[in-house]
Structure 1
Amino acid sequence: MIYYLIALIVFLIDQGTKYIIATKLQLNELVPVIGNFFVITSHRNRGAAFGILENQRWFFIVITVIVVLAIVWYMQKIKGGKNRLLPTALALVLGGAIGNFLDRALNGEVVDFLMFNFGSYTFPIFNIADSCIVVGVALIVLDSFLDMGRQKKKEAEAGSEQTS
């Protein structure tokens, strides 16, 4: 299934970039890419997004295993369907989740390195896995809205056929 290949590619890119950052940069080293706006850095995160629930390694491991199993189960359930957006979105989330899972399971922390500064505000540092998870979730939400539109259209068509 092509969607597992997408998840594998996400995982490999995530792990490759984290390896490069961890081996080529010193912790907290800053490499400006676009002035002070976009900076590559070497940061470690022992929590979730924005550093919440720091040092809850086993919690994240258990939750990630449940999420990964649920995604795989659901991808199997919807395979062969006409919808391409939802399985693509799930593949992005799957690849990202496994990438961060491996970091937590092996090292107890996740390598983050993409840093954006907006004036004096620094957005929380993140990685490729995080990006794919966010894009995947956004696509899942988009697919839900599109599906609601398709359902309404189908109901309207069914209603007009009954009145004819």
Structure 2
Amino acid sequence: MKREIKMFIGCVFLILLDQVTKLLALQNLKGQNPVTLIPDVFQLLYVENRGAAFGILQNRQWVFLIITVIVLAALVWALPKIPQERHFLPLTLCLCFIGAGAVGNMIDRIFRGYVVDFFYFKLIDFPVFNVADIYVTTAAVILIVLIVFLYKEEDFDRIFPKKDKRGTE
């Protein structure tokens, strides 16, 4: 199976997993008291997030939609350029997880007008989040580690060849 098809199927699976968890939260947590999984540490708490983390940009869905479209366009442009080698698999996976998380939250914003969040670390009063947020945050952190410690300038030159003064590679 071609890499692009596998990536697409994987991304669709990740998006579906995110959407199913949000649907379960909507059906089982909305209007209910938080479900404590670890006392004073971790809860399932239904929240309708109309902004970003820490309450910034409340009710500005269009800002998030524009950012998401830009991120997705960049991913669609960059992913086919990544060599199909084992060395670049972590990079490809990170970008797929970021894309899946972006789409998962975009679906919520378009169809609900808010993002369903439901994981809450009460111990540190961390903002309530969801599976798509986990995808994006985890993949972004791993991506930074990969860029700092694994990938070298030569690797990025293979993905994005530099053009000479005549405009050729």
TM range (shorter): 0.7 to 0.9
Once the two structures are superposed, the pairs formed by residues 124-139 of structure 1 within 5 Å of their partners are 124-139=127-142
Once the two structures are superposed, the pairs formed by residues 64-79 of structure 1 within 5 Å of their partners are 64-79=68-83
How far apart are the structure 2 equivalents of 1:104 and 1:60? 8
Offset from partner CA, 1:36-59 (integer Å, 9 cap, x none) = 211001111001122211111111
Aligned to 2:143: 140
- Report whether the alignment pairs 1:45 with 2:49: yes
Aligned to 2:166: none
Offset from partner CA, 1:62-114 (integer Å, 9 cap, x none) = 11011111112111111524411100000110110000000011111000000
**What TM-score comes out, normalization by structure 1 length?**
0.84
In structure 2, the CA distance between the partners of 1:47 and 1:28, relative to structure 1 (3 Å rule), is farther
In structure 2, the CA distance between the partners of 1:79 and 1:106, relative to structure 1 (3 Å rule), is farther
Percent identical: 35
Alignment check: 8 A CA contact 1:22 1:42 kept: yes
How far apart are the structure 2 equivalents of 1:70 and 1:150? 21
For residue 10 of structure 1, give the secondary structure of its aligned residue in structure 2.
Answer: helix
How far apart are the structure 1 equivalents of 2:55 and 2:7? 30
Once the two structures are superposed, the pairs formed by residues 6-45 of structure 1 within 5 Å of their partners are 6-27=10-31, 29-45=33-49
Aligned to 2:100: 95
How far apart are the structure 2 equivalents of 1:98 and 1:31? 27
Unaligned runs of 5+ in 1: 152-164
Aligned structure 1 segments of 4 or more residues deviating by more than 3 angstroms: 148-151
In structure 2, the CA distance between the partners of 1:50 and 1:10, relative to structure 1 (3 Å rule), is farther
For residue 112 of structure 1, give the secondary structure of its aligned residue in structure 2.
Answer: strand
**Which has the greater radius of gyration?**
1
Aligned to 1:115: 120
How far apart are the structure 1 equivalents of 2:52 and 2:111? 16
The number of residue pairs the alignment matches comes to: 149
Q: CA deviation at 1:149?
A: 8.7
Q: CA RMSD in A?
A: 1.8
Alignment check: 8 A CA contact 1:6 1:88 kept: no
Offset from partner CA, 1:105-146 (integer Å, 9 cap, x none) = 11110000000022xx41100000000000111121122121
How far apart are the structure 2 equivalents of 1:126 and 1:101? 14
For residue 47 of structure 1, give the secondary structure of its aligned residue in structure 2.
Answer: coil
For residue 125 of structure 1, give the secondary structure of its aligned residue in structure 2.
Answer: coil
In structure 2, the CA distance between the partners of 1:63 and 1:148, relative to structure 1 (3 Å rule), is same
